[in-house]
Amino acid sequence: MEKNKVIVIAEAGVNHNGDIRLAKKLVDVAKNSGADYIKFQAFFAKELVTLKSKLAKYQQNNLREKLRQFDLLKKLELKKNDYVNIINYCKKKEIKCLFSVFDIKSFNILLSLGVKEIKIPSGEVDNYPLLKLAAEKMKRVFISTGMCSLSDVKKSLKILRRYGLKKNNIIIMHCNTDYPTKINEVNLSAMVTMGAKFKIQIGYSDHTEGFEVAIAAVALGAKTIEKHITTDKKLKGPDHIASMEPLVFKNYVKLIRNTSLLLGSGKKMPTISEKKNMKLVKKSIVANLNIKKGDIFSEENLSCKRPALGLSPYYWKSILGKRAKKDYKIDDLIIM
């Protein structure tokens, strides 16, 4: 993978609404948009929440109906056969499949299906049993850090490292868990802080509206960008309204790719296109007056002019005061 290649994850999440046909349409959206991954959420409501759990504030706002969190999640959970269908369809479409895993039962099902990389969602950052299993069984782990302090992230990384996961196989994802995230709460500098503190690969889970935050994140060093997608923002569900529709997401991916390209290699040197123009645009030291053999070179009888076919102006000071070894006419290249 080239140095500035950014992994783009299309977050389908629960926007399949429990319908495997819609899930496959979301895979198509991700593939057609140029994303590297499509990601779904793996959970069983009974394993994830108590019957008394309330909806999150953003879920209440988006759904506008009274539900227990259990009731909502029960409608959106996938079964083992759904995972099989999704994984096989992703293979057919040649796009990588990723899951955010919320409980041990879901983890074990995915493990039995050959899944080797997962995402730990923000709400599971302190889930010691899940982190331990992920470290022991997975080849790569993305870990979301919404609602976390630097100390929380440190503790989670310590668990992953303790149970064998190599640092270069961990990606820390900075995010804010409000949907949509307000610009003044993005705090991209915290992503940079985590990368510097833990010497680890960083990314950004984008829950904002628009494009600018993802572009800024890539410019600041994010190697993974994740964004919710939907086939239609008007569909009923907790996340559709804060997700990107196909054409918008395709443009989003394009802008991320362009940002990666414009960052370049980091080496300061002429580009291929610049090299074609260098000799025409840069200058050489030339005679400003007719100069006779033996004359002393001075600021009066020398000048710097295009093209760069002779002695570079860098040597200006070094030839002042020296004698000409031949005759020069005006605009002749000075030879030393």
Compute the radius of gyration of the chain from its Cα atoms.
29
pLDDT in tens, 60-90: 666 556 678 898 899 999 999 999 999 999 9
What average pLDDT does the segment 193-212 reach?
Answer: 97
Distance of alpha carbon 43 from alpha carbon 77, whole angstroms: 6
What average pLDDT does the segment 262-289 reach?
Answer: 94
- Inter-residue contact 117 to 170 (CB < 8 Å): no
Q: What is the dihedral of CA 29, 30, 33, 36, to 10 degrees?
A: -170
pLDDT in tens, 162-184: 999 999 999 999 999 998 999 99
pLDDT for residue 1:
43
Q: Other CB atoms closer than 10 Å to residue 103's CB: what's the count?
A: 20
Mean pLDDT of the chain: 95
What average pLDDT does the segment 192-210 reach?
Answer: 97
Question: In sequence order, what are the residues at sequence separation of 6 or more whose Cβ sits closer than 8 angstroms to the Cβ of residue 165?
Answer: 134, 135, 138, 141
Q: How confident is the model at residue 47 (pLDDT cuts 50, 70, 90)?
A: very high
pTM of the model: 0.89
Beta strands in the chain (DSSP E): 7-13, 37-42, 96-101, 117-120, 140-144, 170-175, 201-206, 224-228, 284-287, 302-305
pLDDT for residue 43:
97
Residue type, position 74, single letter? K
Question: In sequence order, what are the residues at sequence separation of 6 or more whose Cβ sits closer than 8 angstroms to the Cβ of residue 140?
Answer: 116, 117, 169, 170, 171
Domains and their CATH numbers in the chain? 7-263 (3.20.20.70), 272-319 (no CATH)
pLDDT for residue 237:
87
Q: What are phi and psi of 326, to 5 degrees?
A: -160, 175
Q: What is the dihedral of CA 141, 146, 147, 148, to 10 degrees?
A: 50
pLDDT in tens, 4-41: 689 999 999 999 999 999 999 999 999 999 999 999 99
